Chain A
Amino acid sequence: MRLNGGEALIKSLEMMGTEVIFGYPGGAILPVYDPIIDSKIRHVLARHEQGAGHMAEGYAHATGRPGVCMVTSGPAATNIVTPLADAYLDSVPLVCITGQVGLAAIGTDAFQEVDTTGITRSITKHNFLVTRAQDIPQAIRDAFYIATTGRPGPVLVDIPKNIVDAGNPDAYFEWEWPETTDLPGYNPELPLDHDAVAEAVELIMAAERPLLYVGGGVLKSRGAEILRQLAELMNLPVVTTLMARGAFPDSHELCLGMPGMHGNYTAITAMQKSDLLIAMGSRFDDRVTGKVGAFAPEAKIIHVDIDPAEHGKVRQPDVAIVGDCRIVMEAMVDALRTAGGAESAADHSAWRQQLSGWQENFPLTYEASAPGELLKPQFVLEKLRDGCPADTIVASGVGQHQMWTSQYWQFDHPYTWVNSGGLGTMGFSIPAAIGAKAAYPDRTVWAVDGDGCFQMTAQELVTASVSKIPVKIALLNNAYLGMVRQWQELFYEERYSEVYLSHDMPDYVKWAEAMGCVAFRVEDPDEVEAVIARANAINDRPVVIDFRCHSNEKVYPMVAAGGSNDDVMVDPSQEALLVVAKAASASQNGEPS
């Protein structure tokens, strides 16, 4: 069977099981768009290449399978740089195909030519410039293998136009699917270090204040079930980072929720006071540790990560275990059972008591809106959480609304939370929600968005309408770039610089309707529940709800950037209690109070 490079590219994607490509055609990639017409792969036409990239990410977050996106050369390639960087920082498996000018034109500053592999080198796990049509199947096979194994990540394959051009005799070759990958420098299958597991088990058995510090690696390894067994076997309290929400059920009695800059008081403080942090697929990100020198000063560290470079990058572990979290946890559970489980381990009862004391004293809280006041975003999220099916997928943009969603949603199932953690990409939620909904058309998918984020990628709602991917958008419209405003209020003496957006410019309802969505506006707290119910009943079109929110609301708790996690700013209503708690803790340590 003789194929040209374009046909071979699409056939290779089919061979890798691709269901859907999120993309945008253009000059250099044109020859590849012709065979798409005859392929069983669905193509979703985004309205901006950045949207295509985030859709592929949303698909990958929700399914665990690699997201596939395809765009042309030049500006299309530069437009998809942001999703690639986002996927790189959050270890999202992505295969991105970019068109390139013909080989003879490379280096001549040809029309729509950029050095795509050069530009994306530091934000992809790997990239290829393919120079011969017959090399395309191997490149695609290798790209999927690299994207999905080891620490997952984005892989870009740059395809010059001449090797896919049906009019070029040299672009034809006898189709052959490679039996294996051809990557002598890449071996993600590492043997498990059983000695290290044994050392870890010893530390766990001896710890009095242990804590499982769970990161996105647990989700990437499909390790939620074994995590639960590990936690329950040893009665280990669990914190789930922003990237790991849903890896352990929020409703579980051992779950302390999210730590970090806007984590809850108990999760943050538990890390600070712990004597053993079991870091499971987490990377000691600065948003979790705060000031590194002051982070968890009494804790020994067991660090499990599939990427050996994470060990010692930020904090030197006492026991480092390289491996897939699920496989390492299986070995740990076996060894801990043999060692006698919780009954033979050190007593944690004082620790558990301390934790529940903090939980009781410092729950998440906010002040309800006074009559006539606009909505409180936390209230909207509580109503949304309670009004949606249990397996609802929720995506978010970046900023205050993201933190509130992470705080107030109850994540009881893995792969229901789609967000941009490492890169913090505003505008992520709408396209990412579309990608997740394309993967699971029968599930409810909400994007919680801010007004700043909405204005960055709202055009993808046209994609959602036209392609019949009916996502729902909860727009927490507070008329401001809320998180920036919060920092200006707290750290810049309330000098508000370039953060005002306005509640009604643009008119979000009209805008949403113009894009084919059903749109609602809610200002009254009493209407929130009913409008959410109406939105959830609509399944044939996207829905946008413009929730008019209070502008002054701040995200608490908060640890100031670069500050120590010992200095948590709590909700103003809890400040008095915090002073008492700190004094008690100081006198326990023998310090003058």
Chain B
Amino acid sequence: MTRPGDLSHHTLAVLVENKAGVLARVADLFARRGYNIVSLAVAPTRGERFSRITIVVDVESAPLEQITKQLFKLINVVEIVQLAPEESVERELMIATVQVGQEHRSQVVELVDIFEGKILAVGSNHLTVSLDGGPSKLDDFEALLADYNITELQRSGRIALPRIGRDAPRVAAG
């Protein structure tokens, strides 16, 4: 299984006009051209007119250059910043509910402590925990948590910004 922390994955921070259907345009393009999306996060930025779509792409499915150029042909795409893993700060959020009896609860709490996560809710046989961090940290945490009975798990998809001092390659509509 491929995971968001893989090095064959690149992150594109795509600034788009916040128009109806813009996410569908981006998703359609990936589907039509056979590019794989690993994760996707969308939220408004720079006021109401624009949103940022952060897409983790599998560069083994198509060359990054082709993906970027085809994306940029979308009229509503204003700017694309290519973020290689080593040149960017990446964060992702995970929340998970674990079914765990009282005898093992302290082990899970300890694990959350080590990773500097949070306990969000406690029930008699369940714990809901959250963790934010880089994708590989979340991968490690998820692997260790799998020793217990995970009943629900959700990851947010990656968001990223260029590392300060690095000049990430970008294409913009002049």
Partner-B contacts on A (CB < 8 A): 117-118, 121-122, 125-126, 129, 146, 183-187, 189-190, 307-309, 311-313
Cβ-neighbour of A186 out of B49, B66, B173 (below 8 A) = B173
Closest CB of chain A to B26's CB: distance in Å? 11
B140 on the A face (CB < 8 A)? no
Closest CB of chain B to A74's CB: distance in Å? 19
> For residue B72, which residues in chain A have a CB less than 8 angstroms away from its CB?
308-309
Complex Cα distance, B70 from A110, in Å, reads: 34
> For residue B32, which residues in chain A have a CB less than 8 angstroms away from its CB?
122
When A122-B32, A184-B17, A185-B78 are in contact, do A313 and B66 touch as well, CB less than 8 Å?
yes
Cβ-neighbour of B65 out of A121, A126, A187, A312 (below 8 A) = A312
When A185-B76, A187-B173 are in contact, do A129 and B28 touch as well, CB less than 8 Å?
no
- A to B CB contacts below 8 Å, 13 in the list: A117-B21, A118-B21, A118-B24, A125-B75, A126-B74, A129-B20, A185-B17, A185-B76, A185-B173, A186-B75, A307-B73, A309-B70, A312-B65
B77 on the A face (CB < 8 A)? yes
> For residue B165, which residues in chain A have a CB less than 8 angstroms away from its CB?
none
Cβ-neighbour of A185 out of B21, B28, B75 (below 8 A) = B75
When A184-B78, A309-B73 are in contact, do A121 and B173 touch as well, CB less than 8 Å?
no
B63 on the A face (CB < 8 A)? yes
Complex Cα distance, B17 from A183, in Å, reads: 9
**Judging by beta carbons under 8 Å apart, are A185 and B77 in contact?**
yes
> For residue A121, which residues in chain B have a CB less than 8 angstroms away from its CB?
21, 24-25, 28
> For residue A190, which residues in chain B have a CB less than 8 angstroms away from its CB?
174
Complex Cα distance, B28 from A312, in Å, reads: 22
The size bracket of the interface on B is 20 to 34
B69 on the A face (CB < 8 A)? yes
B16 on the A face (CB < 8 A)? yes
> For residue A311, which residues in chain B have a CB less than 8 angstroms away from its CB?
69
**Judging by beta carbons under 8 Å apart, are B69 and A309 in contact?**
yes
> For residue B174, which residues in chain A have a CB less than 8 angstroms away from its CB?
187, 189-190
> For residue B28, which residues in chain A have a CB less than 8 angstroms away from its CB?
121-122
Interface residues of B in 42-92 (CB under 8 A from A): 49, 63, 65-66, 69-70, 72-78
Count: A-B pairs, CB below 8 Å: 48
**Judging by beta carbons under 8 Å apart, are A183 and B75 in contact?**
yes
Closest CB of chain A to B160's CB: distance in Å? 21
Closest CB of chain B to A237's CB: distance in Å? 31
CB closest residue in chain B, given A129: B20
Closest CB of chain A to B69's CB: distance in Å? 4
Complex Cα distance, B70 from A308, in Å, reads: 9
Complex Cα distance, B78 from A307, in Å, reads: 16
When A118-B21, A129-B21, A185-B74 are in contact, do A308 and B69 touch as well, CB less than 8 Å?
yes
Mask, B6-26, CB within 8 Å of A = 1, is 000000000011001100110
Complex Cα distance, B78 from A184, in Å, reads: 6
Closest CB of chain A to B23's CB: distance in Å? 12
> For residue B70, which residues in chain A have a CB less than 8 angstroms away from its CB?
309
Complex Cα distance, B79 from A184, in Å, reads: 10
Complex Cα distance, B21 from A122, in Å, reads: 13
CB closest residue in chain B, given A153: B73
With A121-B21, A186-B75, A308-B72 known, 4 other A-B pairs at CB within 8 A are A121-B24, A146-B75, A184-B49, A307-B73
CB closest residue in chain A, given B21: A117
Closest CB of chain B to A380's CB: distance in Å? 40
Closest CB of chain A to B29's CB: distance in Å? 8
Closest CB of chain B to A309's CB: distance in Å? 4
Closest CB of chain B to A77's CB: distance in Å? 16
Closest CB of chain A to B169's CB: distance in Å? 14
Closest CB of chain A to B42's CB: distance in Å? 16
Complex Cα distance, B73 from A146, in Å, reads: 11
Complex Cα distance, B63 from A190, in Å, reads: 23
CB closest residue in chain A, given B67: A309
When A117-B21, A126-B75, A309-B69 are in contact, do A184 and B173 touch as well, CB less than 8 Å?
yes
Closest CB of chain A to B92's CB: distance in Å? 27
> For residue B75, which residues in chain A have a CB less than 8 angstroms away from its CB?
125-126, 146, 183, 185-186
Closest CB of chain A to B21's CB: distance in Å? 6
CB closest residue in chain A, given B49: A184
> For residue B21, which residues in chain A have a CB less than 8 angstroms away from its CB?
117-118, 121, 129
Mask, B162-174, CB within 8 Å of A = 1, is 0000000000011
> For residue B76, which residues in chain A have a CB less than 8 angstroms away from its CB?
185
> For residue B69, which residues in chain A have a CB less than 8 angstroms away from its CB?
308-309, 311
Closest CB of chain A to B78's CB: distance in Å? 4
Complex Cα distance, B70 from A106, in Å, reads: 30
Cβ-neighbour of B16 out of A125, A185, A307 (below 8 A) = A185
Closest CB of chain A to B110's CB: distance in Å? 49
Closest CB of chain B to A230's CB: distance in Å? 26
Complex Cα distance, B16 from A304, in Å, reads: 28
Closest CB of chain B to A218's CB: distance in Å? 21
Complex Cα distance, B29 from A146, in Å, reads: 18
Complex Cα distance, B31 from A122, in Å, reads: 10
Closest CB of chain B to A357's CB: distance in Å? 40
Closest CB of chain A to B88's CB: distance in Å? 23
Complex Cα distance, B77 from A190, in Å, reads: 16
> For residue A186, which residues in chain B have a CB less than 8 angstroms away from its CB?
75, 173
CB closest residue in chain A, given B68: A309
- In order of increasing CB-CB distance, the 3 nearest A-B pairs are A309-B69, A185-B78, A187-B173
CB closest residue in chain A, given B20: A129
CB closest residue in chain B, given A184: B78
> For residue B73, which residues in chain A have a CB less than 8 angstroms away from its CB?
307, 309
Complex Cα distance, B28 from A308, in Å, reads: 20
CB closest residue in chain A, given B19: A128
> For residue B24, which residues in chain A have a CB less than 8 angstroms away from its CB?
118, 121
CB closest residue in chain A, given B22: A185
> For residue B29, which residues in chain A have a CB less than 8 angstroms away from its CB?
122
Closest CB of chain A to B159's CB: distance in Å? 21
Closest CB of chain B to A299's CB: distance in Å? 21
> For residue A146, which residues in chain B have a CB less than 8 angstroms away from its CB?
75
CB closest residue in chain B, given A308: B69
Closest CB of chain B to A324's CB: distance in Å? 16
Complex Cα distance, B66 from A307, in Å, reads: 12
**Judging by beta carbons under 8 Å apart, are B173 and A309 in contact?**
no
Closest CB of chain B to A481's CB: distance in Å? 29
Complex Cα distance, B72 from A186, in Å, reads: 9
